[in-house]
Structures are given as structure tokens and as C-alpha cells.
Homo-oligomer: A and B are copies of this chain.
Amino acid sequence: MMEGRDVPGYDFGAPTVARSPLGSEDLDLLKQTVLFSEEDEEYLRLAGEVLEDQADEVLDLWYGFVGSHPHLIHYFSGPDGQPDDDYLARVRERFKQWIFDTCLRPYDQQWLDYQQEIALRHTRAKKNQTDGVRAPEYIPLRYIIAFIYPITATIRQFLEGKGHAAEEVEKMHQAWFKSVVLQVTLWSQPYVREGDY
């Protein structure tokens, strides 16, 4: 699971992946801004263990949320206005892999490059291409940012699911929250006017 070899359209580390316009100094300043420390890295690794056999339940919850809101499922729908089940299934596997990448991958240049790839796959530049679908051609940035809340709040029950002490759950959750904010910050880059990011 961690390597993601069988995940459709997942090509972390491949030469075809986008290059991030940011480097390690930019990342370091963003980490400082979200108070991201080595302790957070440790607790994300613990979260990766805790979530390992719960990832499908996490995805069930997230997909239930998206599926029950017409303004969100819209972005996974075909020209006929109906949800594209094959597209949803392929994205689901990558989204699951994203949980493990968030918890277990080092946040280095290769990871930064893949964040740019993920970013572009939300935009007119690359959405739909990976899966060869005809869904809406971009996800508006407003929903990418707003998703920080549900993706952060809903993970907590799963972090609590393996009997860890309240303090450990809290530290895992804060590390997750910081990482989600950091990643959404990175994903906003291609949406922003030249020079304003």
C-alpha cells in the first residue's frame, strides 16, 4: 500500500511528474508558519500505522460527504450530469494512497514535486487527463481550501480508533491538521495570479 504501485494514475517519483516551483527554503518557511516540527513527523508516522487498516472507512466517509452534496459530486460527473463511477473509483485509490503519503513519506523535493502534480490535477491544466474522463475541467479553488475543514475534522474518530492515549491522539490530529493546511497551501499555487503566490 505504501508504495502505491497498483494505484491507477499514481506516479509519485516518475520523470513525467510536474516540478514544483518551490524549493526547500520555501517549504521550510511554510513549515514554520504552520508550526510543523520533527515531532509532527513522528506523530504522522504513528497516524499512518493507526490508519493503515481503516483507510477504506475513511474514504467511505469522505465519499459519502462528497456524494451527498450536489455542488461537490458535480466535479466527478460526466457530460450527462451523472457521477462517473469509474472516475470516482480511480480517484478513490489515489486519495487513499494520499493518506499514506501524508503520514509516511518524507516531505522532500520529490514530495514537493508530487504536490505540484496533485495541484495541477485539480486545475484546467491537468484535471481529467490522468483518468481520460470528461468531467468539469477544474475544481474551483474555493472548494480546495474549504475542504481543509472536513478532511481535518473527520479524521479524528479514526485516529481514536486504536486505543491510543488522548494526548497521543491529539498530537496525531494536530500533525494531520498542519499537514493538510500545508498541502492545500501548496495546491493553491497554480490557481494564483503570477507573482501573488
CB of A124 closer than 8 Å to a CB of B: yes
Given contacts A34-B146, A71-B32, contact A141 B181 (CB under 8 A): no
Is B145 a contact partner of A185 (Cβ separation < 8 A)? yes
Candidates B33, B71, B178, B197; contact of A29 at CB < 8 Å: B71
Given contacts A71-B32, A191-B196, A196-B123, contact A174 B153 (CB under 8 A): yes
A186 → chain B, closest Cβ, in Å? 8
Q: For residue A187, which residue of chain B has the nearest CB?
A: B145
Is A141 a contact partner of B35 (Cβ separation < 8 A)? no
Q: For residue A30, which residue of chain B has the nearest CB?
A: B146
Chain copies in complex: 2
Given contacts A181-B146, A185-B146, contact A141 B30 (CB under 8 A): no
Residues of B within 8 A of A191 (CB): 191-193, 196-197
Is A150 a contact partner of B34 (Cβ separation < 8 A)? yes
Is A124 a contact partner of B181 (Cβ separation < 8 A)? no
Given contacts A174-B153, A196-B124, contact A188 B142 (CB under 8 A): yes
